[in-house]
Amino acid sequence: MKKKLNISKKFFPVNEPVITRENIKDVTNSIKSGWISSDGKDVINFEKKFSKFIGKKYGVTVSNGTAALEVAVRSLNLKSGSHIIIPNFSIISTALAVIKNGHIPILIDCELDTWNMKISEIEKKISKQTKCIIATHIYGYPCEVEKIKKLCKKNKIFLIEDAAEMIGHKYKKKYCGNYGDLSIFSFYANKHITTGEGGMIVTNNKNLYKKCKSLRNLCFGFGDKRFYHNDIGWNYRMTNIQSALGLSQLKNIKNIIKKKIEIGKKYYNNLRNIKNIFIQKPVHNKIQNVYWVVGVLIKKKIDIKNLRDKLLKKGVQTRPFFFPMHKQPILKKYLKFNRGNFSNSEIISKNGFYLPSGLNLKNEDINQISNIFKKII
């Protein structure tokens, strides 16, 4: 959230959504149409155009990215107590989608350089009980989803691709979200395109599409049996107004990705020579970093909170990295099948945070933030 501070000439929030005049015009037209709730023409068009952009046949809008995960898992109709492999270093939504649907999360530690799941650990933890893998792309680099897809095919298990942070970014030659049996996206205010709150599920499977569409809408019946429900669903619909904003922003997605990469490269060039930090490269193993956020890891033993407080006093807002799943108090009773070392997740969570990376940042802003950071570190 943007706020004024007297202690700096300028305040740099971690993110500030950019809403253009064209976005406002498109949303205004949606409101004027009189259809402001769900199932309006903007909802339908957003689902069609977004899924086509990703390279999938079908799209289902939902109220947020967490809802997308929950609906996606539920649509698979897995036997209760099935094992679902997820990253240990991720937002808690990933685990909640598994637990709320009556299944067991199996955690995978992350790599120290990409911050994504260790591929070598995934295969070790696949068992007869494993029915699905949620492959989440974390922060900047896409995970090696093609390799994960091959593991899923080999073991006859489902792949849910969590591309919440990767709208418009490619892994090799395909857009992230193209690889999953089901793939999910988030349109929260800090994502590459936003609807304020909102999410999307995309798939090529018509049956899964129909199931997801039903689940997000209370599993209503049809015709005279509209209020006759044959399953437990959610009220997770997206409004026509939100869809109008998403449609409008989707027009500019390629320029948005280009801008995010430019911001990340500028930070990298400014900060790469600081000995006490690690910042991800623009390209790693021929994979482009999209820099959804610009994260830094502090390599020396210092008080990270104190460092972030000092940055805030100079007008630079930061956010800590995700807290690892195996350390979440509420999740402990659900992780009885999880054993092993999650040291990388702990290191990254403890020592990492991200800097402002909103689309409205100018080069002089990034230089100012970088200079403040250098002086304090």
How many folded domains does the chain comprise? Answer: 2
Which pLDDT score, from 0 to 100, does residue 8 have? 47
Residues 206 and 330 in one domain: no
Q: Where are the alpha helices (DSSP H) in the chain?
A: 21-32, 41-54, 65-75, 93-99, 119-125, 145-155, 206-215, 240-250, 253-271, 304-313, 343-351, 363-376
Which pLDDT score, from 0 to 100, does residue 63 have? 97
Q: Is the predicted pLDDT of residue 344 greater than 50, yes or no?
A: yes
The Cα–Cα gap between 331 and 358 comes to 32
CATH code of the domain containing 323:
3.90.1150.10
Above pLDDT 70, what percent of the chain? 98
Residues 116 and 215 in one domain: yes
Which pLDDT score, from 0 to 100, does residue 240 have? 97
Which pLDDT score, from 0 to 100, does residue 338 have? 79
- Identify which has the larger pLDDT, 132 or 377: 132
Nearest alpha carbon to residue 202 among 57, 42, 86: 57
pLDDT 10s digits, 235-267: 999 999 999 999 999 999 999 999 999 999 999
Residue 2 lies in a domain: no
Q: What's the mean pLDDT when you consider all of the chain?
A: 94
Mean pLDDT value across residues 288-306: 94
pTM score, whole prediction:
0.94
Residues 141 and 182 in one domain: yes
Residues 246 and 258 in one domain: no
Mean pLDDT value across residues 35-39: 87
Which pLDDT score, from 0 to 100, does residue 9 have? 57
The Cα–Cα gap between 335 and 172 comes to 34
Q: How many other CB atoms are found less than 10 A from the CB of residue 116?
A: 24
Residues 275 and 367 in one domain: yes
Q: How many other CB atoms are found less than 10 A from the CB of residue 127?
A: 12
Which pLDDT score, from 0 to 100, does residue 20 have? 95
Q: Is the predicted pLDDT of residue 49 greater than 70, yes or no?
A: yes
Q: Is the predicted pLDDT of residue 98 greater than 50, yes or no?
A: yes
8 Å CB contact between 160 and 22 = no
Domain final residue, candidates 208, 232, 250? 250
Residues 134 and 118 in one domain: yes
Residue 9 lies in a domain: no
Which pLDDT score, from 0 to 100, does residue 10 have? 87
Residues 215 and 305 in one domain: no
Give the burial class of 307: count Cβ atoms within 10 A of its Cβ; 0-12 exposed, 13-18 middle, 19 or more buried. middle
Residues 64 and 145 in one domain: yes
The arrangement of strands across the sheet holding 104-108 comes to 58-62, 199-203, 182-186, 158-162, 130-136, 83-87, 104-108
Nearest alpha carbon to residue 85 among 169, 31, 152: 152
Q: Is the predicted pLDDT of residue 154 greater than 80, yes or no?
A: yes
Residues 195 and 270 in one domain: no
Which pLDDT score, from 0 to 100, does residue 7 have? 40
Domain final residue, candidates 250, 285, 319? 250
Nearest alpha carbon to residue 346 among 295, 297, 276: 297
Nearest alpha carbon to residue 219 among 205, 208, 234: 234
Q: Is the predicted pLDDT of residue 4 greater than 60, yes or no?
A: no
Q: Is the predicted pLDDT of residue 5 greater than 60, yes or no?
A: no
CATH code of the domain containing 145:
3.40.640.10
Quote the crossing angle between the two packed helices 240-250 and 21-32, to the nearest 10°.
150
Domain final residue, candidates 250, 281, 315? 250
Residue 163 lies in a domain: yes
Residues 344 and 356 in one domain: yes
Residue 60 lies in a domain: yes
- Return left, alpha or beta for 254; rule: phi > 0 is left, psi -120 to 50 is alpha, else beta: alpha
- β-pairing, 158-162 vs 130-136, is parallel
Residues 202 and 269 in one domain: no
Residues 281 and 213 in one domain: no
Residue 229 lies in a domain: yes
The Cα–Cα gap between 181 and 130 comes to 16
Length in residues, the chain: 377
Residue 3 lies in a domain: no
Can you give the residue range of the structural domain that contains 74? 21-250
Which pLDDT score, from 0 to 100, does residue 337 have? 75
pLDDT band at 6 (very low <50, low <70, confident <90, very high): very low
